[in-house]
A = this chain, B = another copy of it.
Amino acid sequence: MKPSFIYVGIRVKDMSKSIEFYTKFLGMEDKGHSRIEVTKGDVVYLESKDAKVGIELNHYDKDSQFNSDYVVGEGLDHLAFSVEEFDATMRQAREAGYKIFKEVDTGKSKWAYIEDPNGIWIELCKSG
């Protein structure tokens, strides 16, 4: 029996700004909050439309052993989301003040990279 990829856990600096970004802006569904006392951490589980793989937001208290200097690093390159209404989504990103650092329009396809509230790169691409 093969393993199943079930979620990607990202570490966040600001839980409420992160929840807002992933649910309000990226339309993910908040499936539940947990408190893990042993790690002094808070966990929020999110799911996207149709996707069987979720995103888990992890935040650690100041006195948690896992609350280290926050460096996004190269391990995580980016998280990708397809959007049908690309121009409207980019307009929303601008209005929300999210940092947009690359926009590409080849005529056939459009995509862009923005930053989530933690500095994680988010790719938005026009589907279909």
Contacts and interface: CB of A to CB of B under 8 A. Distances in A.
Nearest to A68: B74
A115 to B, nearest CB: 11
The 8 closest A-B pairs by CB, nearest first: A73-B73, A2-B27, A76-B76, A53-B53, A5-B48, A72-B75, A9-B77, A3-B81
12 contacts: A1-B85, A3-B81, A4-B82, A4-B127, A5-B48, A5-B53, A5-B55, A5-B79, A10-B77, A11-B74, A68-B74, A71-B74
- Give the copy number: 2
A118 to B, nearest CB: 6
A49 interface: yes
Contacts of A7: 79-80
